[in-house]
Amino acid sequence: MPLFVRLWKKAIMSNTSRTGAAGFRALGVPADLCAALAADNIHEPFEIQTACIPDALAGRDLCGRARTGSGKTLAYGIPMLERVSQAQPFHPTGIVLVPTRELAKQVRFDLLSMGKARRRYILAVYGGTPYASQINSFRMGASILVACPGRLLDFVRRGQLSLDSVEMCVIDEADRLADLGFMEDVRALLDAMPPTRQTLLYSATLDGDVDELVKNYQENPVMVDLVGETDDDEPATHLIKVVRPIEKTGVAAQLIRDYGRTIVFTRTREGTDSVREALNASGVRAGSIHGGMSQGQRERSLEAFRHGRVDALVATDVAARGIHVDGVELVIHWDIAMDSKDYVHRSGRTARAGSAGTVISLVTDRQASRVNKITKGAGVTIGAAGAASGAERPERSDRSNRTDRTDRTDRTDRTGDDAQQDDGSNGVARRVRPGDHGGVKTVAQLAGRPRGRDRRPPSRRPR
């Protein structure tokens, strides 16, 4: 490479480091970590990072609450890489507990460049991978373990790993760990760590499920709640679209074509595969990810989505935890969320780190009120076009072409196959509505019908 090219690149990197260093250095972040952040094109701290990093660097316990995608990973990752020391074999010094393997891999990836700057080996520990390879990494002196509680506790109980040297522990997505039933494992792991460790909790929602952790495993923690202070200008637009079940695939496929990169949420594994196949049949390139797939299959589906080989990723709630793909324009709730927490975590796959995004719930008429309650509990404002009272509804035939009420009353005597009939003189088919009773008689009509033997047609036998 010519000398002037090398000097030009060196000058560009130097200017980038100075630009990225300014905001983080004011928070007390060391210069080498600032340079690593600048190399990753991270120049200014987000609100959660500004609020949490100084106290975490000072060694205080902390509870941080902010919306998904707000930058929590760096809010705890920077202090951890600054404070933890180099680990001895089988004795890690930093632990990050997360609910899913996808989130474990994502957190490790986000901290990798800073880990290299500090010469700290970062390892993701989760099920579905061979024990031997992870044990070898412990032997090499992995300093920070980003782990799912079950697999990490398994190593501890087998005597293949010791937590007696842990200096800092982070519980990420603490409420989700509680929802998934991991609290017993989390408590067992915290009991195996030194009581002098620093403990941080981060999540999009912090409620009664984590009170026990705060009371029993933290000492006078700093409370940071940015959700309650968030203004009304949310980066994501939330809408409700009322559709008939038979129309869901067509509506979802058109939305994906209109918006671009999309994550579609379903409730079951079978539903995930079914929706993926339906979208593919509609001409949309779609992949899927759920707990019934092997780790290799999940990684291939996620990589295909990340690199644009598929336009949509159909996922279950648990499998999608930790998915962070830049440029997700739309989240579709194919099946409505179970509660407001699930709604928040699903919707957080778009509009991350201040970027814009759209969240659309596909619901039936009967589900609209329930979704409104869920979104209200999540603190989400439904857009004017998506409110239940003004929700977008499937197109129906033009009512102006219908004949007067007298003609419709005459046609109510038709039954069965005549229920979908021509709608006046133009021959447009009309879908029967609950008030029309095209094939079902009203009480008044039934009252006027003959009873008993009078219903029978007259006999054709000669008298």
Q: Which domains does the chain have, with CATH numbers?
A: 45-225 (3.40.50.300), 236-390 (3.40.50.300)
Q: What is the DSSP letter of 367?
A: G
**In angstroms, rounded to a whole number, what is the distance separating the alpha carbons of residues 161 and 158?**
8
pLDDT band for 274, please (50, 70, 90 cuts): very high
CA distance 15 to 338: 48
Residue 429, pLDDT score: 38
Confidence band for 322, pLDDT divided at 50, 70 and 90: low
CA 22 to chain CA centroid, nearest Å: 32
DSSP β-ladder status, 236-242 and 168-172: unpaired
Q: Is 60 exceeded by the pLDDT of residue 13?
A: no
Q: Can you say whether the dihedral through the CA atoms of 38, 44, 46, 50 is positive or negative?
A: positive
For 422, counting Cβ atoms within 10 Å of its Cβ (0-12 exposed, 13-18 middle, 19+ buried), the class is exposed
Residue type, 23: G
Task: Using alpha carbons, list the distances in angstroms from residue 287 to 84, 259, 312, 360.
Answer: 39, 17, 6, 19
Coil/strand/helix, residue 379: coil
**How many other CB atoms are found less than 10 A from the CB of residue 439?**
14
Q: What kind and span of H or E run contains 236?
A: strand 236-242
Rounded Cα distance, 341 and 438, in Å: 43
What are the residues facing 172 on neighbouring strands?
202
In the predicted structure, residue 419 carries a pLDDT above the cut 80: no
Q: Report yes or no: 312 and 263 within 8 Å, Cβ to Cβ.
A: yes
Name the percent of the chain lying above pLDDT 90.
49
Look-up of token digits 């609209």? 368
In the DSSP assignment, the letter for residue 91 is: B
Q: Where are the alpha helices (DSSP H) in 158-294?
A: 174-179, 183-191, 211-217, 248-259, 269-281
pLDDT at residue 5, rounded to an integer: 34
- Supply the angle between the helices 47-57 and 72-83 in degrees, to the nearest 10: 20
Mean pLDDT computed over 275-296: 91
From 345, 258, 352, select the one nearest 70 (Cα to Cα): 352
Q: What is residue 147's predicted lDDT score, i.e. its pLDDT?
A: 97
Q: What is d(CA 405, CA 374) in angstroms, rounded to the nearest whole number? A: 40
Query: What is the per-residue burial (b if ≥16 Cβ within 10 Å, else e) of 152-184?
Result: bbbbeeeeebbbebbbbbbbbbbbbbbbbebbe
Model confidence at 22: pLDDT above 70: no
CA proximity to 417, closest of 432, 433, 404? 432
| Interacting residues of 285 by C-beta distance below 8 A, sequence separation 6+ | 309, 310, 311, 312
Q: Choose the weakest-confidence range: 64-68, 183-187, 225-229.
A: 225-229
User: Do 51 and 224 touch, CB atoms closer than 8 A?
Assistant: yes
Q: How many helices (H) and strands (E) does the chain have?
A: 17, 15
Given a contact cutoff of 8 angstroms between Cβ atoms, the answer to whether 174 and 202 are in contact is: yes
Contact 305, 276 (CB under 8 A): no
Residue 165 confidence (pLDDT) above 90: yes
Beta strands 144-147 and 168-172 are unpaired
pLDDT, position 378:
83
Q: What tokens appear for 170 in the block?
A: 């982070």
Q: What is the DSSP string of 439-455?
A: SS--HHHHHTS--GGGG
Q: Give the per-residue pLDDT at 175.
A: 82
Residue 35: C-alpha distances to residues 187, 377, 442, 446 (Å): 36, 41, 77, 83
The pLDDT of residue 230 is above 80: no
What is the rounded distance in angstroms from the CA atom of residue 275 to the CA atom of residue 286?
9
Mean per-residue pLDDT, 255-276: 94
Element (H, E) at 109: helix 101-118
The pLDDT of residue 449 is above 60 = no
pLDDT tens sequence across 71-87: 889 999 999 999 999 99
What residues pair up with 240 in beta bridges, in sequence order? 361
pLDDT digit string, tens, across residues 364-383: 999 988 998 999 888 888 87
- Please answer whether residues 298 and 272 qualify as being in contact, where contact means their C-beta atoms are separated by less than 8 angstroms: no
Cβ atoms 189, 183 nearer than 8 A: no
Average pLDDT over residues 259-273: 93
